[in-house]
A and B are shown apart, each in its own frame.
Chain A
Amino acid sequence: MPLRPADGAAPGRRHEAVATGDPRRSDVDEWGRSDRVRSLARRIYGPVYSNWFRAAWEGLEKIPVTGGALLVGNHAGAVPSDAPVIMHGIESELGRPVYGLADYFFRTLPVVGTLWSRAGGVPARPDNAYRLLHDQAQLALVFPEGIKGVSKPYSDRYQLRRFGRGGFVEIAMRSGVPVVPIAIVGSEETMPILWQLPQLAQALGLPYFPVTANMLVMGPLGLVVPFPAKLRLRVLDPVTFDVEPGLDRYPKGRVIEEAERIRQSMQAAVNDMLSRRRSIWFG
């Protein structure tokens, strides 16, 4: 059912709009994101973030406090926890809203789709990204590995997949904002995929159907409950491109080269953090 305008007012009370102001009653912005829903989500997710995952950041100060930036992360876990953890961490520590760019498929889901949108989910389209980054100077989070990242089996863990065709680089170039890579370890172990069932996935119309270790331990609940692996997140140095912003297209070779360079720097950071990690559960 549609969310009530979250203004905390009892149903009978009416708010008299300020004559000169815009008579809004809820704080839902033009992307569908609501700060009130986000702060409620942060309150609920807080224990998960702090006690279950015990998320630890390095380099959080590299994320710009003003201006747009495209945050790029490595993606893992059958039902990934990296996106909510990154958004929670940045919003709590820096106080800046983060918009998560994801497949438009979320919009088609009743209830879940609306909650996703109120929590800052935005369909990943170049024009949406441009408007967010350039026009509104916001932080946007994207995972260039996409489905390839989350559907990796456990045997391929932490091998970062190819970053698509580098679309995220082109978006950052056009919007004139830096790319801030965030390397995260621990996400693979939150929901490791042991086997895939492609026929079942096709039958159900899903992009993939995993059999995860969580499901072996908890049964069907395993699809929603991640393991309490310790999450470490390292923010790498922001990457700026000395190109002119606002162009219609950028040289493909350059875009792919930059994307690959970012992927390699993230892979190196992941490898470095893994070599220092003594325990999956305690870091």
Chain B
Amino acid sequence: MGRRVLVTGADTFWGGRVIQALENDRDIEVLLGLGTRVPTVTFERAEFVRADQTYSILSRIVHATQVDTVIHTFMIVDSTQASSKTIHEVNVIGTMNLLAAASAPESSVRQLVVKSSGLVYGSSEKDPATFSEDTPRERSPRTDVERSLVEAESLVRDFAEDNPSAVVALLRFANVLGDDIVTAISRNLSRAVCPCIFGFDPLVQFVHEDDVVRALEFVTQHRLPGTYNVAGAGRLPWSEVAAICGTRLLPLPPVRPSLAVMPLVRLGLFGFPPELDALLRYGRGMDTSRLVSAGFEYRYTSAGAVQSFARHRRLRRAAGRSASPYVYEHDVEQFFLHSPSVVRTTAP
């Protein structure tokens, strides 16, 4: 009897890629993607269900499909991508509804994997050089996105306590860089000029987008419980990151930099979300030995992720436009999934 897996955020960058990675896993008999918009990557055999942000339909889906594994990738970690209201809706309310559906009395869900972020540790001057999974944060969260992630994590912990038979994994990812992903930091590093705070050169840590997907896959396949930091080995100073990416640093005043940069942000020349302010002062380091000792092998170090990002960006600028992006067409996908005319090769 194969596994039945549901992935949230199937329309997002992570959900789509996690589904693509899991499609190769023969142990998984049923693979469902839940999303609010249409998927942006092709699925071979996964089914896509469109649902609203609050997962109100989720309990019906879970009950009907009897999924035993839920991978929750739909969390917003970048405040430039959504308003604070949306961030709260998605991270807190969405997670709450998801956990409610998963913890219903007759629920079949036995494993939950949640994609969280190192933002839950925050960045302050009192921080240790590296946070291990048990280290508490130093300052209470000051930005909306951190607050919502901390709350979402506490909901997940409550779920784990209330459902001891379920295997719950919480993965905290460092800032991601890679070939395709676009984040506030990657946008800043792509421009000719990149913000920094005068007098500060913090050590930052990155994880490559491929390692993010592989880590989610690894934890799912091995049914690992607990909290794990996921980040590339090593930390590097922000000035070195900028040097690898070939961008120049523009120092912002150490006092109220968001004020100074506001006109540039309004013009779209800079992205300077509030969580970046603390990060560009104090950085953040995460100890990754727990996941490594569980058997996971990283393919990229922090510097490797930055370099991969920089190389791909140079390639994109040098070469022409790549193949036109995938456009999801529901009827076509339904045809491929369900039509009797399609010749189905027996499962390899």
Which residues in A have some Cβ–Cβ distance to B below 8 Å?
Answer: 1-5, 17, 22-26, 28, 30-32, 104-105, 107-114, 122-123, 125, 127-128, 131
- Residues 219-245 of chain B: 1 if any A CB is under 8 Å from the residue's CB, otherwise 0? 000000000000001111111100110
Contacts of A3 in B (CB 8 A): 201, 237, 239
C-alpha spacing A110/B234, complex, angstroms: 24
Residue of B nearest to A14 (CB): B246
Question: Do B243 and A104 touch across chains, with their CB atoms under 8 A apart?
Answer: no
Question: Do A128 and B129 touch across chains, with their CB atoms under 8 A apart?
Answer: yes
Contacts of B237 in A (CB 8 A): 2-3, 5, 26, 28, 32
Give the A-B pair count, Cβ closer than 8 A: 92
Number of interface residues of B (CB under 8 A): 34
C-alpha spacing A122/B203, complex, angstroms: 13
C-alpha spacing A3/B196, complex, angstroms: 11
Residue of A nearest to B301 (CB): A22
In the complex, how many angstroms separate the beta carbon of B9 from the nearest chain A beta carbon?
Answer: 31
C-alpha spacing A123/B203, complex, angstroms: 14
**Which of the residues B128, B198, B251 comes within 8 Å of A125, measured between beta carbons?**
B128
Q: Which 4 A-B pairs have the closest CB atoms?
A: A110-B199, A2-B201, A111-B199, A2-B239
**Which of the residues B130, B236, B251, B285 comes within 8 Å of A24, measured between beta carbons?**
B236
Question: Do A122 and B200 touch across chains, with their CB atoms under 8 A apart?
Answer: no
Question: Do A123 and B126 touch across chains, with their CB atoms under 8 A apart?
Answer: yes
C-alpha spacing A31/B128, complex, angstroms: 10
In the complex, how many angstroms separate the beta carbon of B123 from the nearest chain A beta carbon?
Answer: 11
Question: Do B254 and A31 touch across chains, with their CB atoms under 8 A apart?
Answer: no
Question: Do A127 and B303 touch across chains, with their CB atoms under 8 A apart?
Answer: no
Do A2 and B238 contact each other (CB < 8 Å), given the known contacts A25-B243, A30-B130, A104-B125?
yes
Question: Do B203 and A32 touch across chains, with their CB atoms under 8 A apart?
Answer: yes
Contacts of A110 in B (CB 8 A): 197-200, 254
- Whether a CB of chain A sits under 8 angstroms from the CB of B143 is no
Contacts of B126 in A (CB 8 A): 104, 123, 125
Contacts of A112 in B (CB 8 A): 199
- Residues 116-133 of chain B: 1 if any A CB is under 8 Å from the residue's CB, otherwise 0? 000000000110111010
**Which of the residues B197, B233, B239 comes within 8 Å of A4, measured between beta carbons?**
B239
Contacts of A127 in B (CB 8 A): 128, 132, 135
- Whether a CB of chain A sits under 8 angstroms from the CB of B79 is no
Question: Do A28 and B301 touch across chains, with their CB atoms under 8 A apart?
Answer: no
- Whether a CB of chain A sits under 8 angstroms from the CB of B175 is no
Do A31 and B125 contact each other (CB < 8 Å), given the known contacts A1-B199, A24-B303?
no
In the complex, how many angstroms separate the beta carbon of B308 from the nearest chain A beta carbon?
Answer: 9
- Whether a CB of chain A sits under 8 angstroms from the CB of B249 is yes
Among A1, A2, A105, max chain B CB count under 10 A is at A2
Do A5 and B239 contact each other (CB < 8 Å), given the known contacts A104-B126, A107-B282, A122-B129?
yes
C-alpha spacing A3/B242, complex, angstroms: 12
- Whether a CB of chain A sits under 8 angstroms from the CB of B307 is yes
- Whether a CB of chain A sits under 8 angstroms from the CB of B304 is yes
